[in-house]
Amino acid sequence: WDLSSGAVLRPFAVEARDLTALRVTPDGKVAISTSMTGAVDAWDLESGALLKSFQGSRDFIFALDVSRDGKRLLTGGRDKQLVLWDLGSGKQLKVIDTRAPVMCAVFAPDGSSALTCAGGWDLGPVAQLWSLETGQKLREFVGYPKSASVKTAVFSPDGTRLVVSVTGMSDLFVF
């Protein structure tokens, strides 16, 4: 879309019907999409061409993020794995067993860690920070009602704050 006029710049066909997440690289040239099939696709936004496709999961992917430098991806989904990818090669760099379906995955501003969100599935709400180097859980953020699910989160640009939203509530939780 042209944001100033609202006109469609170029539609292009995406074969996967059930897209679950979409991000654009920081340079604005590539769109990354995920689907209920577990596929991860990279699209050239100028031409609409599929640049690469790789299997990102054994199951639905709910979560997707692109690093600030546009070189790495995070995916997560129903298979309870957070996966760190090299976008250029499509290779998995790290697979982390989160023990919970991943509803959101967010790079920390410095790129060294990632936050995952989960909830429901008899777990209660879960937001966890993971080291992308070691795969170890660094911290768990708590303080929401047990009946809620953590659905989305965002870091402040400087990485000093985390804001989390949960289902069924109008509150935001700031850590």
pLDDT for the residue 73: 95
Amino acid at 172: L
Whether the model pTM is above 0.75: yes
According to DSSP, the residues that pair with 128 across neighbouring strands are 116, 140
31-77 per-position pLDDT tens digit:
998 888 888 889 998 888 889 988 867 778 889 999 999 999 999 98
Exposure letters 141-173 (e unless 16+ CB within 10 A, then b): beebeeebbbbbbebeeeeeebebbbeeeeeeb
Give the span between the Cα atoms of 126 and 144, in whole angstroms: 9
pLDDT for the residue 108: 95
Residue (of 103, 39, 94, 98) closest to 72 by Cα position: 94
Which residues of the chain have a pLDDT value below 50?
Answer: none
What percentage of residues in the chain have a pLDDT greater than 90? Answer: 41
